[in-house]
A and B are shown apart, each in its own frame.
Chain A
Amino acid sequence: MSATAGYQAAFARENAATGRTPRLRLRVEQASFAYSATDRSAPTFTLGPVSFEAQPHELVAILGPNASGKSTLLRLLAGLTKPLAGRIEVDGVEVSSLDLRTRAQKIALVQQESELLFPLRVWEYVLQGRYPHGRRLRFESEADCLLAGNALAQVGAEPLRDRWMDQLSGGEKQRVILARALSQQPSLLLLDEPTQHLDIGGKVELLRRLRRLADENRHTVLVVTHELDLAAEFSDRIVLMHEGKCLRVGTPEQVYERELLEGVFDAPLEIEMKPGGRPHVILRGVR
């Protein structure tokens, strides 16, 4: 059974079980893309047709090794590039047809770093996230300040509010950057390898926070990652990518199959099912 069909089947079963009517937040339908070195040469990299869907409150992990097309897919989702074929819809509207401002109201892309040229206070930085919701030359309103304050509170960065941005530690900065994305009040929250520079404690903390945000707010959170364990532990849905192709879409149990993962990640792995129903990946003896 193809990846998409399998996913849809599982989805239908789930809905039947919970009785929940699906409100579609994100719908990716046969989106594909290709990079070429120049206009005329053959494509050096192709992102094959990808299809999946996501709901509000869901945390979706786009999982795969390096150069599997995860970041390209994220760029398509963010509307930064138009897909060569297929559609990507957020809240029923095609993403690439939106103007910049409206797109920023719906989709927030959380950066890794922020290179500030001039000193800025944390609250000023977070308040900038309200930009898509007003006129071009705007002065923030009371409501804006309230929302920014909420965003800070949600990431646990409230006490940092009056600090200068360049005085923050790496972890604190990341939380503040996330807070700015939250104050955009997006439908879709996109993160590209957010755990890259964090230690295990930091990784867990971030994923916990993202999980909580997905549950509390109405976002759909999409995280591009190659961390097998974290993806299994925290995500509702996994999109498995390999060499530009989407191999499987489904819940962690559905996707984490030993032969499949070993083929994708090219490493000797062992899958264990934990009591809570989440799979657990172990490195089999390498030597």
Chain B
Amino acid sequence: MGVLGALTLRLLLSVAEPIWAATQPLPPFDPQISSGTSVGTTVVDGVGRRVEIPAQVKRVVTLSPDLTETIYALGLEERLAGDTNYCDTPPAAKSKPHVGTMQNPSLEAIVALRPDVVFASTSINRRETVDALARLGLAVYATNPHTVRGVLDSIASVANVMGAVAQGQTLVAQLQERLDALQMRLADLPLAHVLFVVWQDPLITIGQNTFIADALRWAGAESVILAEQNWPQISFEEVVRLQPDYIVFTSNHSGGSTALLADLRSRQAWKGLRAVEMGHVLEISDEIARPSPGLVDAIEQLARHVHSEAFRGPGAHDTPVPENREHISRMLPSAQECTACIR
């Protein structure tokens, strides 16, 4: 019994001790874990959190595809130590080390990559993730793009945090220029009424306060549904009553537009819609929903479809295409390539 008792005691202690230690509050994070120096600046991120950024930001991890895309657009992909499983734009991002999903990334995997800064986005990441990483002592910068202008601000702030102020300013200026040009083109035109389909069955569209609604407005379009909720589920009768000019779907692969139109034309409910009869069914890039540089391309793409009359003529293809963004030029179809717009 003595031996058994001693063994018991040892076993219990060995289980209890580490658990006891684990329940102690964690001491402050030792900054030597990062590759930067210990002197940094304190900034306020997109959600108002105070973040201490190391002076040298050599390694970063992104937790959402739009941030990954932004970093590539800024030309800073060398410093990208890791991204999520779903970061596929540009394709080179797929070969970076992954840290998991956007909703539930592996905290350990992030720590293992030893980042100086972790970028998160309120568009897709959870607050709990940000808090958990901050508790571990990592510098987490959260962007909060609500609108198209907010996207440009986010891009600028990401660039600033990474110490690449010049690249940021250049990129933002380019994007701003394109947006301004678009505004001019569309200045006197009425807003096109579109139905933006998030999900077909049940029929879910976008609310007024969403990011996508703002993007639509920049493209000279407006959702026919005015709702306070972000993702209102609507009845098909509403659509029939409102008869939108265009029906817009998103897709992350091209080439499905003709098939999509054919499919809608075969459906009892949809084929009676004026937009379907006239062939005003669009499938645009899903970048319209993503607060990244590619958003501007998607806005332009949409504008070309719904206001094609504004793009006829010599100035149609004058939009500048910056060099190191080959994926964006791929997605920008010319008027002739627009197979979805069957008149």
**Direct contact between A and B judged by beta carbons closer than 8 A:** no
Question: Which residues of A are at the interface with B, using a C-beta cutoff of 8 A?
Answer: none
Question: Which residues of B are at the interface with A, using a C-beta cutoff of 8 A?
Answer: none
